[in-house]
Amino acid sequence: MSGQGFIERGKATSWLIVATFLTIFIVGIGTYEDYDIFGDAAVERISGFITYEYINDLLFHREVPVISARNLPELPEWRDRQYGMFFQLPIIFIEDLKGFKTSFYKSLINRHLYCFIIYFIALICFYFTLKEILANKLIALAGVLMEHLHYNLYAQSITNIKDGLFVSIYIIACFFMIKLMKNRENNIYLLLFALFTALATTIRFYGVILIPTYITYAIVEDIVFLKSNNDIKSWLNPRLKRGLTTNFSLVWLIIIFCAIYYIVMPVYWLNPGETLLYTINSALNFPNWNDTMEFMGKVGKWEDMPWYYLPVYMLLTIPVYTIIAFLIGTILIIFNTFKGRKFENFVRYRFLWVYMGLFFILFIFQIVFHIKIYGRWRHMYILYPAFVVIAAAGIQMLQEIVANSKVAQKSKYILFIIPLLMSLGFLGSIARMIKNHPYEQAMYNIIGMKYGAENNRAGHGRKEIYSYMLKHDNSEKLKVKFEPVGLVSLNSKALKRITWVINDYDYLFVDYRNIIGNTYQVPGYSEIYTLWQDGYKLASLYKKNP
């Protein structure tokens, strides 16, 4: 795939790519502290403490007094034991070295920076993945921007050390998967692929899908190679010695993956069988979560949600230009594969078909088996990197059609239409993200602004709401209605002025969870400050009437 019509102008293209990544890095480093801290962050920190204490006790017979004093459950009995803490343990280790003197708030904010740095590395890997597949730097850069400018996922990649971090590690694993597919004799790529796939799987078990994906690809490639002519064989690494050696490497891949997964998941050390079953059940059912959610103007539990919950939320939240590019990509990949020499075309587009499989298999699996997800579709963000790869291919293929058209032969200006439209789309997303910062996680696209904007905006604005309260009320102590997440939303200085109470409070925070529309009355209290987004309330502060 040449990317005809997207002309790479040597150093200018390289400088554009460098400038784009540098801008993303500077903006991320400068804004990661702006985002709210969510309740899951505190729970994940507890999970990290439990795992850290378990390792210290089992391997080093060392007690960690600060953690022991919390009387936390043992790891084998902990409800979230299925989630690996590999990426959190270094943070806790540093806290331990400092005597756990880092404030609770600061330790959680530091996780924002940590997640962003890993996310940035993942974006670089995503660029090189796209470059490997599509062989065009500008198309690869466009793909990176489509990945980066998904408002919700970008914010989650900073604030969510589970779902956001999972996508980042998954992207890195996919990069090494493509490198290994192109260089199957390279043991370094095999090791790195197994490593990052195992690490992704510790966060969300869905990551394991990359192992059967690669094995299927390798077997199919070997079969195709045996039945191909010399021209096609030249596309399939003709230097590779196929047969027993390559097949045995697949066994090694499974062994290395399982070994790494076992080593970095301490909960498996003593009872692997039972823990594996618990992990799979949790991945499919989320038994520890049975709360309510909003969807299309109604409130209900997951069992009440229709089969189209996932596709609707994707339609409402992914930037529209990316959705259009994805649809074009899907159609053109299928059309270009099955026209003319189908066998040769399938080999030519084989990596795109890998990503088509990664997207559609998981997408259909979730719908058919009604796998529980909540908080919009963050548990299925694993779909988005493949979505973007297909979208980037769609842009490239469409541009090639335009470049080869009779209209383009008469006027070269037609070649600038698609790049111009994509650039306008990117600029529109950037403008909206700036306008709505730091609440990108609550944003909808232009379709969602009209049809879905009242759904699932809960959980945002605590930092701003409570800061407003502290700034405009000079009382030494403020009685605020207790809410667990409020405890992690402010620094220790601010919390000293707040007394959390159950009854007779002066202020209460409302995040419009399970509230449809903007009308909400609290008897005896008045709404004094509200955050708005796209005509809907994100959060409000209510004060007791005199």
Q: What is the pLDDT of residues 212-259, one digit of tens each?
A: 999 999 988 888 877 776 666 666 776 676 655 567 889 999 999 999
For 183-308, where are the alpha helices, taking DSSP H only? 187-203, 210-226, 230-233, 244-263, 272-285
Confidence (pTM): 0.94
Which amino acid type is present at position 531?
L
- pLDDT at residue 544 in the model: 96
* Domain boundaries along the sequence of the chain: 43-102, 462-544
Question: CA neighbours within 13 Å on the CB side: how many for 60?
Answer: 8
Composition of the chain by helix, strand, coil, percent to 5: 65, 5, 30
Spatial distance between the Cα atoms of 219 and 243, rounded to a whole number of angstroms:
10
Strand partners, 540: 510, 530
Indicate the SS3 state at residue 492: helix
Neighbouring residues of 488: CB distance < 8 A, sequence distance ≥ 6: 37, 39, 41, 42, 104, 105, 108
Q: Fill in the DSSP letter of residue 74.
A: P
Residue 459 has pLDDT above 80, yes or no: no
- Which string of DSSP letters, residue by residue, matches 350-371? HHHHHHHHHHHHHHHHHHHHT-
Chain-centroid distance, C-alpha 305: 22
In this predicted model, what pLDDT tens digit does every residue of 350-367 receive, in sequence order? 999 999 999 999 999 999
**By the 8 A CB rule, do 379 and 316 touch?**
no
- Give pLDDT, residue 238: 65
pLDDT reading at 155 higher than 70: yes
Would you call 295 exposed, middle or buried from its count of C-beta atoms within 10 A (0-12, 13-18, 19+)? Answer: buried
> Per the structure block, which two tokens stand in for 355?
């990503």
Residues present in the chain in total: 546
pLDDT tens per residue, range 33-61? 999 988 788 899 999 999 999 999 999 99
Arithmetic mean of pLDDT, 152-179 = 96
The pLDDT score that the predictor gives to residue 543 is: 96
Average pLDDT, the chain: 90
User: Closest by alpha carbon to 252, among 186, 201, 205?
Assistant: 186
Question: Contact at 8 Å (CB) between 467 and 493?
Answer: no
pLDDT of residue 193: 98
DSSP calls for 33-70? GGSPPPHHHHHHHHHHHHHHHHHHHHHH----HHHHTT
| Contact call for residues 178 and 133 (beta carbons, < 8 A) | yes
| Confidence (pLDDT) at 243 | 59
What is the pLDDT at residue 245? Answer: 57
Over residues 498-507, the mean pLDDT reads 94
Interatomic CA distance for residues 281 and 245, integer angstroms: 36
Confidence grade of residue 515 (pLDDT, cut at 50, 70, 90): confident
Look at residue 374 in the predicted model and tell me its pLDDT.
85
pLDDT of 304-341, one tens digit each? 999 999 999 999 999 999 999 999 999 999 999 998 77
What integer pLDDT is reported at residue 529 of this predicted model? 96
- The whole-number pLDDT of residue 7 equals 54
Question: Where is average pLDDT lowest: 103-112, 238-247, 408-417?
Answer: 238-247
Confidence of residue 17 (pLDDT cuts 50, 70, 90): very high
205: number of Cβ within 10 Å:
20
Average pLDDT value for residue range 27-35:
96
What pLDDT is recorded for position 514?
Answer: 79
